[in-house]
Amino acid sequence: KQERTINVTVKDSQIYPQNPPKYDKIEDMAMMTHLNEASVLYNLKERYAAWMIYTYSGLFCVTVNPYKWLPVYNPEVVAGYRGKKRVEAPPHIFSISDNAYQAMLTDRENQSVLITGESGAGKTVNTKRVIQYFATIAAIGDSGKKKEPSNSLQVFYYYRFGAHYPETHYPETSKIWKAHLQ
């Protein structure tokens, strides 16, 4: 088979520095030596190819929608993120959820999780995962024994269209007291 060579001429402004190989598939892109569009896209592509769909970028968690079910949302995975600091477990929407939950318990202040993206990016799925996390830790409680989540939380699983603002309320006991959708 004969190889064909193609020469391409580009401007210096179109060339970006590449990160050393030790940064391949890095969990937090804020740690990269060279943080540019090409490096970010390369890292996300490499992680996605290894089915690592969650990646941190500083305080944010970037999700690449796999458009398929992955076995990373069961109660055992929830337990793996409960009470853990961000650096103690791989990037995941459950880590973001637990950080908000722990900050609420520690600081006794309201917390928010913002999920944003293009159409089809997985906003609805990730919203369900945040609610799933809260419902699972509420169902498990301190006893470690799983109970069924309440119907008021299950209704969020079926909400699909329009802007949604699910809200859960916790009294002093740190258990879900009520939840509603605005």
Is 118 annotated to bind a ligand? Reply is yes
Superfamily of structural domain 69-182: Kinesin motor domain (3.40.850.10)
Q: Where in the chain is the domain with CATH 3.40.850.10?
A: 69-182
pLDDT digits (tens, 9 = 90+) for 103-144: 888 888 888 888 888 888 888 899 889 989 988 888 776 555
Is residue 80 a known part of a binding site? no
The reported pTM is 0.76
Q: Is 141 annotated as a binding residue?
A: no
Span 27-38, pLDDT tens digits? 999 999 999 999
Q: If DSSP states are collapsed to H, E and C, what string results for the chain?
A: CCCCCCCCCCCHHHCCCCCCHHHCCCCEHHHCCCCCHHHHHHHHHHHHHCCCCEEEECCEEEECCCCCCCCCCCHHHHHHHCCCCHHHCCCCHHHHHHHHHHHHHHHCCCCCCCCCCCCCCCHHHHHHHHHHHHHHHHHHCCCCCCCCCCHHHHHHHHCCCCCCCEEEECCCCCCCCEEEEC
Question: Is 121 labelled as part of a ligand binding site?
Answer: yes
* Residue 148 known to bind ligand: no
